Amino acid sequence: MASYEQNDIVSEKRFPKLVAPQADSWRFRISHFNVVAFSYWHAAGLYGLYLCFTSARWPTIFLAAILTEASTLGVLCGAHRLWSHKSYKAKLPLQIILVIFQTLSGQYSVYNWVRDHRMHHRYSDTDGDPHNATRGFFYSHIGWLLVQKHPEVHKRGQDVEMSDITSNPLLAFQRKHAAILFTLICYVLPTIIPVYFWEETLSTAYHVNILRFILCLNFTGLINSAAHVFGNRPYDKEVMATENDSVMLLTLGEGSHNYHHVFPWDYRAAELGSWFNFSKTFIDFFALIGWAYDLKTADRKIIISRVERTGDGSYEGKEMRSERNRGQ
């Protein structure tokens, strides 16, 4: 079975090379259904935020907060670090947890997520990138979900190696029953639980859950938008991905994006793996009990060599912060 990295080489021979940053003058077709849906979700989420400050019970708010973090972990530890990059391996119990958490996020199936993310890395910041940051902050954050895909994404997406995902029975089950699973896990259960267990009103439970869904969606979007615009590039100054501490905090450890684009197979997704990197802590815990294994990391000498060769010169400050953190 060819790895998706090996498949990248074959793809480059089949299609003309795209060099970042690149965006043509293609006029996108608006997906009116998605525009209405995302507009409604955001409006409902804002109302849910209002209810959090006015009438929602504390257990409802607490549950929404916990589920927001759980769904974020499902996306980032599961769809991203485990299945997109194979940066570690997981036994079936952990895979089941991650699939449930990822389904809770409402961000399509793991199959769709992995396909788009592998394209993002292969064709980063070009028209082959589903959320091409060259097209601006809004497009890379959420706008790409409101339009039909660019022809280059359609064409090149058919060539993405996905056999490792399609051969996984658990992921195949999720993909086959996506609509039912999303309805039940992402919407129905988080709404019914507050109503049944502590007599929350149905309207409040529903809207606070939509807020939870929207928060996770936008936290993930910040990786594609803010972490491609704001921040330094200590590992490779030629890529748009940056180091962004705010994104690191909000996404439980995905803000070291410049590092991640240089070393995508590192399960930490950051060199300084402990700083606000709860995703790493989550994986480390399951490694401790034997459910996660074969955790991959980049060698220190390779990191320094890459910094000296392609970095923007800002790495010294990062080193000083690392030493300060070790001393605390």
Predicted confidence (pLDDT) per residue in 125-174, tens digit = 888 899 999 989 999 999 999 999 888 888 888 888 899 999 999 999 99
CA distances from 190 to 41, 47, 156, 213, 214 (A): 15, 17, 37, 10, 14
Output the pLDDT for position 3: 53
Partners of 293 in beta bridges:
89
Q: By the 8 A CB rule, do 283 and 295 touch?
A: yes
Q: Say if residue 37's pLDDT is above 80.
A: yes
Average pLDDT over residues 60-73: 97
State the pLDDT confidence band at 26, using cuts at 50, 70 and 90. confident
- In this predicted model, what pLDDT tens digit does every residue of 221-258 receive, in sequence order? 999 999 999 999 999 999 999 999 899 989 988 989 99
- In this predicted model, what pLDDT tens digit does every residue of 284-314 receive, in sequence order? 999 999 999 999 999 989 999 999 999 988 8
Output the pLDDT for position 324: 47
Q: Tell me the pairing of strands 89-90 and 292-293.
A: antiparallel
- In this predicted model, what pLDDT tens digit does every residue of 178-193 receive, in sequence order? 999 999 999 999 999 9
Q: How many residues does the chain have?
A: 328
Output the pLDDT for position 154: 84
d(CA 208, CA 206): 6
pTM for this prediction: 0.89
Q: Which helix (H) or strand (E) holds 317?
A: helix 315-327
Per-residue tokens: 319? 């080193």
Per-residue tokens: 24? 């043509």
- In this predicted model, what pLDDT tens digit does every residue of 84-134 receive, in sequence order? 999 999 999 999 999 999 999 999 899 999 999 999 999 988 888 999 999
